[in-house]
Amino acid sequence: MYFIDVILPIPLKQTFTYSVNEHEARFLKQGMRVAVPFGKSKVYTAIVYRVHTQPPASYETKSIDQILDEEPILNEQQLKHWEWMASYYMCTLGEVIRAALPSAFLLESETVIKLASEMNVEENGFSDEEFLVYEALQHQSSLHINDVRSILDMKNVVKVIQQLLQKGAIEVEETVFEKYTPKVVRYIRLAPEFTSEENLQQLLETLTRAPKQKEVLMTLFMLSAQQKKPVSSVQLQKRSNASAAVLKALIDKGILEEYFVQKDRVEYTGPEGAATKALSEAQHKALTEIKSSFEEHDVTLLHGVTSSGKTEIYVELISEIIKSGKQVLYMLPEIALTTQLIGRLQHYFGERISVFHSKYTLNERVEVWYNVLQKKPKAQIIIGARSSLFLPFSNLGLIIVDEAHEPSFKQYSPAPRYHARDSAVVLGQLHNAKTLLGSATPSLESTHNAQTDKYGLVKLTERYGNILMPEIELVDIREKHRKKRMTGHFSDRLFEEIEEVLKEGEQVILFQNRRGYSPFVECTTCGVSPQCPNCDVSLTYHQFKNELRCHYCGYHIAMLISCMACGSETLDAKGFGTEQIESEVKQLFPEHSVARMDQDTTRGKHAYAKLIEKIENQEIDIIVGTQMLAKGLDFRNIRLVGVMNADNLLNFPDFRVHERSFQLLQQVSGRAGRTEKRGKVLIQTFNPNHQILQQVSVNDYDGMFKDEAEQRYQYKYPPYYRTIKITLRDRNYNKMHKAAVWLGALLQTRLKENVLGPEAPPVGRIRNLFITNLLVKIPKQQSVPKTKKFIGKAVQSFHSVKDFSTVKLTIDVDNY
């Protein structure tokens, strides 16, 4: 008897055992996929974990439906990394696998298939089964796996579907992602029987009465001779000025042949191999220090001020690693924000770069996956957001985590709730690779790790080209209000500075950390403000659409004319977001072009890139935006950055608020003055004496670190204590509360005063679910694995309480 243990992509702890025959047992290897039956009628794609001969004690095994791969699609190092992740972040391996594998790899009974939006396949290449499914899809827009089973009157259909997917005939329905349009290029060549001189002569003679067709043929010869690569139909048509019909006639006659080649969608065609820039003395020194730091530390923190030229240092490191044949992973917080960087790197490394991101279409992701798996040169350098960690690297030499302080490296939901920076460090260790964390404003955790010699530390304190750090001025708007020196939300200082900069033809960034027009509306008669019916938050007013919107659940209604509570027409928009600043600035500077950069204006796949291009080309004078502006953008002509109101950053109820405010303000400031002229930053605030603002204004990272570290130590927060947040959600408030108190008490039996809560988060209800949190703090000397084990057991008991069965529970390790 032979068995395999498989991992299913579901949140159940254990692996599952299925029986296989001897032949299958010989063939199967860890990391191959099999289709397996599950429950009454479900089918899952599972990953083979182990092949063995011990039957499980407690249940009858079912046999597998089908083997789906010829070769493993993942490797041992990946599995090790994922096991670490599941154990560290307290979730199941199945959940990690679901996050890790492109969903096209995980066909299951829930999967819905449909015809590909653009068909480029030959029907006659289909097997009988494939054809039947294909035909059925001509009549029905989509099919479930079970439908396919009845159409084919057979049980094992996953492989058929997989083949249709591979041929590009169908696609998997995926609501969250943009649809995939297969990019297939149609090429034209001469039919083989005419390639001999003699036949060709004859052919040309027969075509004398069809001059257009002859023209096409001659153009084809010419192009083939000129370029040493195939001739595409588009190119041929263009050059010969022929219609599609002429081309078709030639193909129908059997003189020409068409053939299709699938192009990789993420492809770079520009120049490459540009010489890298000569490093400045400071950069060179930093590079040398990084290399020697790597001799002692696997992880090194590069703390380099904004515009110090960290990227050029990365480029040098990458060059060396790829020369040795190893792979490089370059991680960024958000890929949408990286068009600039990708361009810069492609300049040096050309086609060796692949970009990987969950926003990419399924097939793009599958392609990159296979390229990495097969160690293709074009995937030697991977640029990606956090999910690129999961790729099948086998030979990593270097991981760069750029903008390592960014909170978006942490995945909030669903599980695994992992931090990509920390997971990268572990991945690096598994590969014996070096990991470099780069930031102008490192997180407290990273600096703490450097100070305690867990990480190496290299500092770069000057900007490239000896450009000065921008001059930062705090503007007291309480006083400006009192003296009537405000126009809307603009102080006279900010107004003057903007005017000055615009006069010189340079650009301005205005930062406001809220989108929409006003965060809430209030009735001046009765004081009531419209709330979201599903969440405990006020609705934000969006002027452009004249709507009230909930930023948590997307609920929206037309702007009210009168108050819902008292009926008075005295609704007043309170507070301000980017939309309002944009409209004020347009009135103040009507001669200048203004653009807004926030979630509302950058929705489409290319919207963001277009906006960046416009800014780079100086088609825009003033950019109003949210923290999107703070993420590593490199613009040449920004002279002035205005922070409209620093206070709402500082008033956020979270233990990281000071660190985050410092980082954000330093990062936006860092966008100013990246060329010869010194940049300027104006920060408007009601509290110019706030410690953090004072520290921001003189670039005092060390001062910030010292103060914050003391606070964290005193109040038992990271980096001194670890935290695990347990969140409970339910439609019924009382039930949720009771459940939280019960679990809290159970945890306290052992963890004592280090269990805090239950406490409602700032928004205590989202999408009709009430929310409460328990926070567990783990002191340095207490074993983290043991604590997690205990929490795991407590949660297990919790799940066995019937009363709490509807309560949703999530665990967030190292919560952010």
Residues near ligand ADP, by CB under 6 A? 277-280, 283, 304, 306-312, 464, 634, 674
Tell me how far apart the alpha carbons of residues 586 and 9 are, in angstroms, rounded to a whole number: 51
- Closest approach, Cβ 631 to ligand ADP, in A, equals 11
565 interacts with, out of Zn ion, ligand ADP, none, CB within 5 to 8 A per kind? Zn ion
By beta-carbon proximity to ligand ADP, the closer residue of 306 and 645 is 306
Residue 42 in tokens: 């479900």
DSSP 740-755: HHHHHHHHHHHHGGGE
**Which of Zn ion, ligand ADP, none binds 107 (CB below 5-8 Å, type-dependent)?**
none
Pick between residue 639 and residue 674 the one whose CB is nearest to ligand ADP: 674
Give least dist CB 782 to Zn ion, A.
Answer: 39
Nearest-angstrom CA–CA distance, 409 and 412: 9
* Closer residue to ligand ADP in complex, CB, 61/618: 618
Shorter beta-carbon distance to Zn ion: residue 521 or 630:
521
- Asked whether position 764 contacts Zn ion by CB under 5 A, the answer is no
Q: Which is nearer to Zn ion, 260 or 555 (CB)?
A: 555
Taking Cα atoms as reference points, which of 332, 304, 399 lies closest to residue 699?
Answer: 304
Q: What is the 3-state secondary structure (H, E, C) of 543-565?
A: CCCCEEECCCCCCEEECCCCCCC
Stretch in the footprint of Zn ion (CB under 5 A) among 252-260, 493-501, 533-541, 658-666: 533-541
Q: Which 353-392 positions form the footprint of Zn ion (CB under 5 A)? A: none
Residue 310 contact, options Zn ion, ligand ADP, none, Cβ 5-8 Å cut-off depending on partner type:
ligand ADP
Cα–Cα dist 747/744, whole Å: 5
CB of 706 to ligand ADP, least distance (A): 24
Residues 6+ apart with CB under 8 A from 225: none
Among 555, 655, 686, 721, binds Zn ion (CB under 5 A): 555
Among 115, 200, 553, 795, binds Zn ion (CB under 5 A): 553
Q: Which does 634 bind (CB under 5 to 8 A by kind): Zn ion, ligand ADP, none?
A: ligand ADP
Residue among 728, 674, 557, 783 nearest 305 (CA): 674
47/279 with CB nearer ligand ADP: 279
| Least distance in angstroms from the C-beta of 283 to ligand ADP | 6
Token pair for 34: 């099999």
Query: Residue 134 to residues 124, 143, 815: CA-CA distances in angstroms?
Result: 12, 10, 47
What does the radius of gyration of the chain's CA atoms come to, in whole angstroms? Answer: 30
**Smallest separation (angstroms) from Zn ion to the CB of 555:** 4
Task: Report in angstroms the alpha-carbon separations of 403 from 49, 305, 464.
Answer: 36, 11, 17
User: What distance in Å separates the CA atoms of residue 312 and residue 341, rounded to the nearest whole number?
Assistant: 11
Q: In this chain, which of 6, 535, 620, 696 binds Zn ion, going by CB under 5 A?
A: 535
* Binds Zn ion by CB under 5 A, chosen from 154, 274, 557, 566: 566
**Min. distance of Cβ 549 from Zn ion in angstroms?**
9
User: Least separation, in Å, of the C-beta of 613 and ligand ADP?
Assistant: 16
CA angle (351, 355, 358) in 5-degree steps: 160
| Minimum distance, C-beta of residue 465 to ligand ADP, in the bound complex (Å) | 7
Cβ proximity to ligand ADP, 72 vs 309, nearer residue: 309
What is the closest distance, in whole angstroms, from the C-beta atom of residue 271 to ligand ADP in the complex?
17
Q: Which of 97, 3, 82, 5 is nearest to 50 (CA)?
A: 5
Parallel, antiparallel, or unpaired for β 507-511 and 622-625?
A: parallel
Distance CA 4, CA 17 (A): 6
- Residues touching Zn ion, count (CB under 5 A): 14
- When the beta carbons of 249 and 526 are compared against Zn ion, the nearer one is 526
Tally of CB atoms within 10 A around 747: 23
CA distance 374 to 351: 16
Partner touching 280 among ligand ADP, Zn ion, none, CB below 5 to 8 Å by kind = ligand ADP
Asked whether the beta carbons of 585 and 512 are under 8 A apart, the reply is no
Residue nearest to ligand ADP (CB): 309
Answer for the pair 369, 406: CB distance below 8 angstroms, yes or no.
no
Residue 213 or 307 having the CB closest to ligand ADP: 307
Pattern 473-512, Zn ion, x by CB under 5 A: ----------------------------------------
The site for Zn ion (CB under 5 A) is made up of 523, 525-526, 532, 534-535, 550, 552-553, 555, 563, 565-566, 568
